[in-house]
Amino acid sequence: MQAEKKVLLDIKDLKVHFNIAPKSAWPWTKPLKLKAVDGVGIRLYEGETLGVVGESGCGKSTFARAVIGLVQATEGNVVWLGQDLTKLEHNAMREKRKEIQMIFQDPLASLNPRMTVGDIIAEPLKTFYPELTTDEVKARVKEMMNKVGLLPNVINRYPHEFSGGQCQRIGIARALILRPKLIICDEPVSALDVSIQAQVVNLLKSLQKEMGLSLIFIAHDLSVVKHISDRVMVMYLGNAVEIGEGDALFDGPKHPYTKALMSAVPIPDPEKERNKTIQLLEGDLPSPMNPPSGCVFRTRCPQATDSCAQKKPQLEGGDVHAVACLNVH
């Protein structure tokens, strides 16, 4: 099925490394290298939702920001509809942002408190389409407010007058006003109540169907990711360790790290929930400034062997279900 779909985004060996100055260092001391994203490659298809999961510090948000250009890639390629975004100059990349937009984690902090709702949603239109008249802009803003469930009569209110869920709807409206092809959702529901989370996720799904959107959806809540995603990428210490179609990955995880994550997902059946075994990971998450050799998960992996320290596993298995583990294949 995916072979017939159009490839929107083709990410190849994406790396984002930051130089960190050591404490009490001499001026000539070489900076330490923090490997936030260390060689991630994946394709995103037209109309698809890609979920990205992993514990805090695994590089999910840095990956998303590198895709949209908010963080500069150290190496690799981000090919959007045949054009490598990492090679574009500032003005050319700015034009591409009409096609790729982002929804941020903190709804209120992502909105300008000095601007009204109408001005916040209209700002992208005024930036990219200055030829539009005031009435045309206002009409488009009201239309988008209706789509995301905001009453047009609140157009002159300020962000602090709204709840967290309503603020996130404003952020969604701002992202969609340019009618992009791809929306990157960086933990858009993590700051919301559970009931509001469901409303926002269902809103995104309905808007995706209506507007033909593709989504990259980053979240900690695996239940939410399962509900919205067509495929899921599991990240650990800047690396993609498993990629699979939603049902295949949740029902039959292969990588030891993915199995540990899935074992923590609550099961609606009380009997099954009581009897399930949670796979606890031993040890702490290694520093991205000094990751383990070979497989980055080997220091916490119950299946690790001596060979895991010598060779870095590559994703194998194709788009349906790929896993990076020397002991799985």
In a domain, 147, yes or no: yes
Please indicate, yes or no, whether residues 90 and 114 belong to a single structural domain of this protein. Answer: no
pLDDT at 158: 96
For 34-64, the pLDDT digits (tens) are 999 999 999 999 999 999 999 888 999 999 9
Please indicate, yes or no, whether residues 91 and 123 belong to a single structural domain of this protein. Answer: no
- Which domain covers residue 126, as residue numbers? 108-179
Q: Give CA–CA dist 197/203, Å, rounded.
A: 10
Please indicate, yes or no, whether residues 272 and 290 belong to a single structural domain of this protein. Answer: yes
In a domain, 199, yes or no: no
In a domain, 203, yes or no: no
Please indicate, yes or no, whether residues 266 and 281 belong to a single structural domain of this protein. Answer: yes
In a domain, 114, yes or no: yes
- Map tokens 């037209």 to a residue: 46
pTM: 0.91
Please indicate, yes or no, whether residues 93 and 215 belong to a single structural domain of this protein. Answer: yes
Q: What is the mean pLDDT of residues 235-239?
A: 95
Please indicate, yes or no, whether residues 167 and 36 belong to a single structural domain of this protein. Answer: no
- Given the DSSP bridges, would you call strands 49-53 and 214-218 parallel, antiparallel or unpaired? parallel
In a domain, 26, yes or no: no
Sheet holding 182-186, edge to edge: 100-103, 182-186, 214-218, 49-53, 231-236, 239-245, 321-323
pLDDT at 3: 55
pLDDT at 329: 62
In a domain, 328, yes or no: yes
Please indicate, yes or no, whether residues 244 and 170 belong to a single structural domain of this protein. Answer: no
**Domain of residue 319, CATH code:** 3.40.50.300
Q: What H or E segment, with its residue span, contains residue 66?
A: helix 60-68
| Bridge partners, 78 (sequence order) | 11
First to last CA, the chain: 24
In a domain, 205, yes or no: no
Q: Are 53 and 235 in contact (CB under 8 A)?
A: yes
Number of domains in the chain: 2
Please indicate, yes or no, whether residues 294 and 266 belong to a single structural domain of this protein. Answer: yes
Q: Give CA–CA dist 121/179, Å, rounded.
A: 12
- Residue 2 binned pLDDT confidence (cut-offs 50, 70, 90): low
Q: State the greatest distance between any 2 C-alpha atoms of the chain, in Å, as a whole number.
A: 68
- Distances in Å between the Cα of 103 and the Cα atoms of 17, 37, 83, 110, 193 are 24, 20, 23, 9, 17
In a domain, 27, yes or no: no
Backbone angles phi, psi at 251, to 5 degrees: -85, -30
For 61-111, the pLDDT digits (tens) are 999 999 999 999 999 999 999 999 999 998 899 899 999 999 998 888 899
Please indicate, yes or no, whether residues 188 and 301 belong to a single structural domain of this protein. Answer: yes
Tell me: pLDDT of 327 over 70. Answer: yes
Query: Helix 164-176 crosses helix 117-128 at what angle (to 10 degrees)?
Result: 20
Please indicate, yes or no, whether residues 326 and 219 belong to a single structural domain of this protein. Answer: yes
The tokens of 224 are what? 């939410």
Please indicate, yes or no, whether residues 39 and 168 belong to a single structural domain of this protein. Answer: no
Q: Give CA–CA dist 191/23, Å, rounded.
A: 34
Please indicate, yes or no, whether residues 117 and 235 belong to a single structural domain of this protein. Answer: no
